[in-house]
Chain A
Amino acid sequence: MIELKDLSYVRFGTSNLEDAESFATKCLGLQVGEQSGKAVYLRSDDRAHTLCYFEGSPADQVVGFEVEDEIELNAAAATLDHLGHPVHAGTNTECGLRKVKAFIGFKDPTGNQIELVVRPERSGKRYFASRDAGITGFSHVGLSTTDPVRDERFWTQVCNARVSDRIGDVALMRVNAIHHTIALAPGPGPGVHHVNHQVESNDDVLRSFYHLSGQRVPIVFGPGRHPTSGARFLYFRGPDGMVFEYSVGVDAIEDEETHRPRSFGFEPSSLCMWGSKRNW
């Protein structure tokens, strides 16, 4: 079984690096960690980067997960290879671009580009936000799925993810105590559905609602509250149509042994208990 320890980063190709950086700093509020002409590395916590925009196709979207060490990484490569997922071992240059010691790349059953990484870099300098959005860190991703039942099987049986709750057939899965690190989202093809950053307080969610509305950033869902994780949230659209989320108050799964996933109906009140309507 592939032991995912934590979510590490997302990498997005973009046709307009300048716009992407401007959104990431002025709207999202992340800190530029490093910038080359071809890529910008953005920080959201004490890691060296958690979001990277690079010159390329916006369809090129990658999610990185950390595994324990190179032994685990090699075992994971063997497992994936055995299951028929083509595995790419990262070159030194590619590792440098990701600020990791080693990584492998593969596609999940839907075709999402996933990377497993070893020793992602942290930064000695503390995170200093470019605007007061109250971000405490990169926390989870929504992954598109063309078959939620099949993909749940992949993430929970090939990897170590556990289902925390389901909305209809769609699973919210954790790899540690946080309610979910991977949220599956039905869609026509592969891609990152949304990128979540945690913020300090409910006040931050509402402040950003007004701040981003004032910046004419399209708010696509919320302010609202998920009945599943208990988190108060705000979803908004960034460059190349990517949706970002701020949330606060995600439940922790206290008792790993006894937690049983709850089933919520596939209906709007299962996504927002306050009554906000999703429009994306």
Chain B
Amino acid sequence: MTSMNASAAPARCPLIQLCYVRLAVQTPQPAAAFATDVLGLQHVPSDLEPFLYRSDQRYYTLCFTTDADRPSIGIEISDDRGLDRIAETAIGDGFRAREATRNECAQRVVRRAIIVEDASGNEIDLVLRPALSGRRYFPSRDAGVTGLQSVGVRSRAMKDDLKLWTAILGAKVTDRVGEITYLGIDKMHHRVVLHPSDKAGIVYVSFGVESLDALMQNNYFVEERQIKVLHGPGREPASGQMFVRFAGPEGYVFSYGYGLACVDSDHRPRQFTLEASSLCEWGSQCVDIAELQPTPAS
């Protein structure tokens, strides 16, 4: 009976939140300095993972690790049953998924995790009960960071990756620019953006900031430190978010964002033309990141 009722009711997204981003690095020290001195995040002392950083009330949202060959993103799932069901469906549809070891869970500061690989080869950690911290967030500089906000993900198999995100995980397509697809998992316009690419990986990791002032102050802050601004200051017409994207350690790109819109439950995905003004309505252009250029993916 219960299962019939559940299937009749609109499926509630089992995804709770974007929890963290784990970035694989070769030399962690410069990345660590970047996390505190530039991004302004708070370092979390930990024996298991020495390079964990907080951006909000969560125990951590950014990890630099030398113990991985590729980046991964952590997504919280509502409960054990949801997690088992998702793992089963993913495996049934040909995706690789495995239960994380006790040690892997400890490293990620979660109770349980299933590590899924999308069709492009990106790792997605589906986690249960990610840790929060009782102490309030105390940033290492006044960057006005309010928390990990979204992540851009490269896809070389858009159709299958979208199937994983939507049909299996339950994320909603909120808007598209060409084939670039914004995915929502909560009331915000997007938490994950899939970008057609010829490789797997992370396009950018975005931290929300508290105001336009904070965004622009950060823009001049990174510029003064000769850190390359790769896109912006700009504004995404689809999400309303104002952003500055800039170069981080080992080729990673970080972003500050302000003004990400909420979407109504009756929001229907809109299709924006594939041109520069669909990615930035102010007129900024990105020349260094192929996935943020309005040219059809090869």
Contacts and interface: CB of A to CB of B under 8 A. Distances in A.
Given A207-B282, A211-B283, A202 B220 contact: no
Given A206-B233, A206-B235, A275-B224, A224 B216 contact: yes
A84 interface: no
B283 A214 contact: yes
A273 B219 CA distance: 12
Nearest to B219: A274
B213 A203 contact: no
Interface string B100-140: 00000000000000000000000000000000000000000
A223 B213 CA distance: 11
Contacts of B216: 223-225, 274-275
Contacts of B212: 202, 232
B241 to A, nearest CB: 13
Interface string B219-230: 111001000000
Q: Among B216, B219, B224, B233, which residue has the most Cβ atoms of chain A within 10 A?
A: B216
A266 interface: no
Given A202-B212, A203-B235, A209 B217 contact: no
A154 interface: no
A214 B276 CA distance: 14
Interface in B24-78: none
A276 B220 contact: yes
Contacts of B166: none
Given A202-B212, A274-B216, A274-B219, A223 B281 contact: no
Interface residues of A, number: 16
B283 A223 contact: no
Interface in B179-229: 212-213, 216-217, 219-221, 224
B284 interface: yes
Nearest to B212: A202
B213 A210 contact: no
B225 to A, nearest CB: 11
Output the residue of A206, A211, A232, A276 with the most chain B CB within 10 A: A206
Residue from A209, A223, A275, A276 whose CB has the most chain B CB atoms within 10 Å: A275
B125 to A, nearest CB: 37
Contacts of B219: 274-275
Contacts of A206: 233-235, 282-283
B217 A207 contact: no
Range, interface on chain B: 10 to 19
B41 to A, nearest CB: 20
Nearest to B280: A210
A273 B212 CA distance: 12
Contact of B281 (A207, A214, A224, A225): A207
Nearest to A204: B282
Given A206-B233, A225-B213, A275 B284 contact: no
A207 B221 contact: no
Given A206-B282, A207-B281, A214-B283, A275 B213 contact: no
Nearest to B224: A275
B217 A275 contact: yes
Contacts of A275: 216-217, 219-221, 224
Nearest to A202: B212
A274 B283 contact: no
A207 B234 CA distance: 9
A217 to B, nearest CB: 13
Nearest to B215: A274
A248 to B, nearest CB: 11
Contacts of A203: 235, 281-282
Interface string A212-228: 00100000000111000
Given A207-B283, A273-B213, A223 B224 contact: no
B219 to A, nearest CB: 7
A210 B221 contact: no
A202 B282 CA distance: 10
B209 to A, nearest CB: 12
B6 to A, nearest CB: 44
Given A202-B212, A214-B283, A223 B217 contact: no
A201 to B, nearest CB: 11
Nearest to B285: A210
A209 B233 CA distance: 10
Contacts of B213: 225, 273-274
Given A206-B283, A225-B216, A274-B217, 17 more contacts: A202-B212, A203-B281, A206-B233, A206-B234, A206-B235, A207-B282, A207-B283, A209-B283, A210-B284, A211-B283, A223-B233, A225-B213, A274-B220, A275-B217, A275-B220, A275-B221, A276-B220
Interface of B: 212-213, 216-217, 219-221, 224, 233-235, 281-284
21 contacts: A202-B212, A203-B281, A206-B233, A206-B235, A206-B282, A207-B283, A209-B282, A210-B282, A210-B283, A210-B284, A214-B283, A225-B213, A225-B216, A273-B213, A273-B217, A274-B217, A274-B220, A275-B217, A275-B220, A275-B221, A276-B220
Interface of A: 202-203, 206-207, 209-211, 214, 223-225, 232, 273-276
Closest CB pairs A-B (n = 9): A210-B283, A275-B220, A274-B216, A206-B282, A207-B282, A274-B217, A210-B282, A274-B220, A275-B217
